[in-house]
Amino acid sequence: MSSRAYIREFAESFERKDFGAAILKWAPLIETTVRNAARLMRHDDEEDMLQALLLDLASFYDYFVSPLYRYNGIVWKVKEQQGRLVLLVSPESRLAPLTPCWTYASYLEPVKKSSASSFVYRRIVQFVPDLATKKFRKRNGFKLQAQQRAVVEKSGKKNELRLRTISCPVQQHPRVHTDHLEDCADTRSSTDLVCAARRALSNASLPAKLVAQALMAGAKSDARGLGRQLGLKMRQVSQAKLELYRGLKNMEYPKGCSPVYFTAGHMR
């Protein structure tokens, strides 16, 4: 299924027709944003980024259709009303839920919402900045460094080139000595790492074994390239990577307590 057909089916799943029409209207922007997000994350496939973006839009659907009110500078949702009192709760899309509270209905200020087209557009353009904020943080090995960049600014009808100080994320790599690195693709090696890899592959599906062999042989890690090389679909390659990760991860569980997952062999 093409990305445009996938977006169309997703848009038709909403009861509010204006919300679904807005998603169809901005479908080209969604596809462009997905490509930019995949380049930003590098190791993620475009299909995964498309699902993440559409899930983000779906999570804000309740925020769009529900009546919202502003109280003490914070946006709330009314869950219950008893006489002049109302019970306020956090909207479902809020990352840090607030503690529910009771207050007088006269203290509430209705929140005026934008059109569905503007709402969907803002969520789409905010997707990549949100990904960048999550990725380029200190705990992931990045720090912000001030750099001088030439920026084009519009002044009236003219465009001017000016120097601006911009905070750019810089990744800090510790110095690694190559003498201590092991090549898992080298069959002559008998280290614990290779033994663990063989144990993880022993119960893997055929597509997962093919992907593992290709990766250890130095093949490209993107799903599209691996799929062409191995004659597999992108869904199978993505699931095979996930299966390999789970196989290694399951070694941490006690015997008889590992979860049950789908394998790449189930993908068609």
Cβ neighbours, 10 Å, residue 104 = 11
What are the CB-based long-range contacts (under 8 Å, 24+) for 222-227?
222/45, 223/45, 223/47, 224/45
Number of structural domains (the chain) is 3
**151 Cβ neighbours under 8 A, 6+ residues apart:** 161, 162, 163, 164, 166
| 92 and 45 share one domain | yes
| 80 and 202 share one domain | no
| 12 and 124 share one domain | yes
List strands edge to edge, sheet with 85-89.
101-104, 85-89, 74-82, 68-71, 109-110
| 97 and 147 share one domain | no
- CATH number of 239's domain: 1.10.10
Q: Where in the sequence is the domain holding 220, given as residue range(s)?
A: 179-266
pLDDT in tens, 29-86: 999 998 888 887 776 677 888 888 888 888 888 878 888 888 888 888 888 888 889 8
| 246 and 162 share one domain | no
Largest CA distance in the chain: 78
pTM of the model as a whole: 0.52
Beta bridge partners of 153: 160
Residue 129 and residue 34: Cα distance in Å, rounded?
12
Average pLDDT over all residues of the chain: 76
| 6 and 72 share one domain | yes
| 214 and 239 share one domain | yes
| 127 and 29 share one domain | yes
| 123 and 4 share one domain | yes
Residue 236 and residue 247: Cα distance in Å, rounded?
16
pLDDT for 185 beyond 50: no
Determine if residue 32 is left, alpha or beta; phi over 0 gives left, psi from -120 to 50 gives alpha, anything else beta.
Answer: alpha
pLDDT in tens, 91-137: 776 767 788 889 988 888 888 888 889 989 999 998 888 888 777 77
CB 258 within 8 A of CB 243: no
Higher-scoring residue by pLDDT: 259, 197: 197
CB 41 within 8 A of CB 49: yes
| 83 and 104 share one domain | yes
pLDDT of residue 26: 92
| 155 and 236 share one domain | no
| 131 and 7 share one domain | yes
Q: DSSP state, 84?
A: T
